[in-house]
Amino acid sequence: MSFEFFSNKGKFFKGNLHGHSNHSDGKLAPEEVCKAYIEKGYNFISITDHFLEMFNYPITSPELNIKNFTVIPGAELHTSKMENGELWHVLALGLNDKFAPPNQPNFLINKKSENIANLSLRLYEAGAFVSLTHPEWNGMTLHDTLKIKKAHAIEIYNHSCAIECDRGSGVAVLDQILNHGKELNIIATDDSHFHIEDAFGGWVMVKSEINSEEALLEALKNGHYYSSQGPDFKNIKVQNGRLEVLCSPVEKIIVSGYGSASIYREKSAMESAVFNLGLLPQKKWLRVTIIDEEGNRAWTNPIYDY
Ligand SMILES: [Zn+2]
Ligand SMILES: [Zn+2]
């Protein structure tokens, strides 16, 4: 991963990667979910219904044929169980309906379901974009995540978990994973169900030449995107030990790295900042966070070579 994709050809497409319809426990029909996101200016979504036998293992992919709006077929898969005895939740985007179920009948623990190491590897090898979900909500530990050999991302923000129980963050688990030496990207999502106002709070901005399922998935897998609750990154350049951030007006720009390392600037309506990376002594990884005057954040994926 590098930040060079900011200078690539193409534009940023806005998408929600995690949400539910009435094909599982969401309120709205898939077409209504799409309509809600289209009205809010999104360019694509994935409807990731719970991949359980009780819902007939759905991979929701409505045939919409709406110009300039893409639905990536996907699902939130489950299997038993994490170290605290809870069910695993794993997002997989770009999944086709031939994917063999992991023998998970419902939301209860099933001793005979597939183990997470197998399931996550099968998803990755099937060509899906694989992400761990809401680590703070279900108490995922670093040790849990080490069972997963191949994944693309983890949720740094899950909007419905933030609203319902103030457990929407993934920062602590993410940074432990990075400190452990594993490379992993991040996503912000809604996990919308539409029973309450749980949509439009966290999204990704994906850089791509075209808005198609294949192009978006490719860009997601390559990490050519950032995650946001509001503010936007315009460009990031790393050169000769300096990191330059250009963004929409924000109050804070933070560069975080290994352990407790971080540097930041604070100023009203700031649209750029330059950092001396010599101030981050352990050159293992870094990521950038911006925070606007309403407290909304945007996050880059981590980079490792700088
Ligand atoms: Zn979930
Ligand atoms: Zn969900």
Q: What is the mean pLDDT of the chain?
A: 96
Q: What is the pLDDT of residue 63?
A: 83
Task: Please indicate, yes or no, whether residues 142 and 259 belong to a single structural domain of this protein.
Answer: no
Q: Going along 129-199, which residue ranges are E strands? A: 129-132, 153-158, 185-189
CB 249 within 8 Å of CB 269: yes
Same domain, 214 and 84: yes
**Which ligand has the shortest distance to the CA of 87?**
1
Q: How far is the CA of 286 from the centre of ligand 1 (A)?
A: 28
pLDDT tens digits, residue range 27-56? 999 999 999 999 999 999 999 999 999 999
In a domain? residue 214: yes
**252 plus 211 within the same structural domain:** no
Classify residue 64 by burial, with Cβ atoms within 10 Å: 0-12, 13-18, 19+. middle
Q: 276 and 204 share a domain?
A: no
Nearest to 99 by CA among 75, 65, 82: 75
Question: Domain end: 227, 253, 276, which one?
Answer: 227
Distance 164 CA to ligand 1 centre (A): 13
pLDDT score for 234:
98
Q: Backbone dihedral region of 137: left (phi > 0), alpha (psi from -120 to 50 degrees) or beta?
A: alpha
CA dist 132 and 145 (Å) reads 8
Asked whether residue 295 is assigned to any structural domain, the reply reads yes
pLDDT at 77 over 90: yes
Tell me, yes or no, whether 252 lies in a domain: yes
Mean pLDDT on 271-297: 95
Q: Domain with 119 in it: what CATH number? A: 3.20.20.140
Distance 97 CA to ligand 1 centre (A): 20
The 10 Å Cβ neighbour count of residue 47 is: 30
Spacing, Cα 76 to ligand 1 middle (Å): 7
- Are residue 137 and residue 245 in the same domain, yes or no? no
The bound ligand whose nearest atom lies closest to the alpha carbon of 193 is 2
79 touches 97 (CB < 8 A): no
- Give pLDDT, residue 228: 99
Ligand nearest to the CA of 19: 2
Q: Confirm whether 254 is domain-assigned.
A: yes
Last residue of a domain, one of 167, 202, 227: 227
Per-residue pLDDT of 81-92, as tens digits, reads 999 999 999 999
Q: Which of these three, 227, 244, 278, is where a domain ends? A: 227
- In angstroms, what is the span from residue 31 Cα to ligand 1's centroid? 21
CA of 244 to the centre of ligand 2 (A): 35
For ligand 2, the distance from its centroid to the CA atom of residue 230, given in whole angstroms, is: 21
Is 248 domain-assigned? Answer: yes
On whether the CB atoms of residues 228 and 256 are closer than 8 A, the answer is no
The pLDDT-based confidence of 134 (bands split at 50, 70, 90) is: very high
**Closest ligand relative to 90 C-alpha:** 1
Q: Which value, in Å, is the radius of gyration of the alpha carbons in the chain?
A: 19
Question: Distance from the CA of 89 to the center of ligand 1, in angstroms?
Answer: 5
Q: How far is the CA of 289 from the centre of ligand 1 (A)?
A: 25
Ligand in nearest proximity to the CA of 134: 1
If you measure from the C-alpha of residue 57 to the centroid of ligand 2, how many angstroms do you get, rounded to a whole number? 14
pLDDT at 128 > cutoff 90: yes
1 belongs to a structural domain: no
Q: What is the Å distance from ligand 1's center to 206 Cα?
A: 22
Structure confidence at residue 192 (pLDDT): 98
301: which 2 tokens? 């994926």
**C-alpha of residue 169 to centroid of ligand 1, in Å:** 13
Cα(137) to centroid(ligand 1), Å = 9
Asked if 83 and 160 sit in the same domain, the reply is yes
* Structural domain that includes position 263: 233-300
Cα–ligand 1 centroid distance for 91 (angstroms): 8
Pair 188, 292 in one domain? no
> If you measure from the C-alpha of residue 90 to the centroid of ligand 1, how many angstroms do you get, rounded to a whole number?
7
Asked whether residue 145 falls in the same domain as residue 242, the answer is no
Q: Are residues 105 and 183 in the same domain?
A: yes
- What 3-state DSSP class applies to 136? coil
pLDDT band per the 50, 70, 90 thresholds, residue 112: very high
| Residue 88 CA to ligand 1 centre (angstroms) | 8
Q: Is residue 305 in some structural domain? A: no
Q: Clarify whether residues 20 and 160 are in a common domain.
A: yes
Nearest-ligand number for the alpha carbon of 82: 1
- In sequence order, the β-bridge partners of residue 205 are 14, 226
Report the domain count for the chain.
2
Q: pLDDT band for position 67 (50/70/90)? A: confident
Question: Which candidate, 247, 259, 242, 238, places its Cα nearest to that of 291?
Answer: 247
CB 133: neighbour CB atoms within 10 A? 25
Residue 306 lies in a domain: no
Residues 22 and 100 in one domain: yes
Q: Do 123 and 108 share a structural domain?
A: yes
CATH number for position 281: 2.60.40
Distance between Cα 197 and ligand 2 center (Å): 15
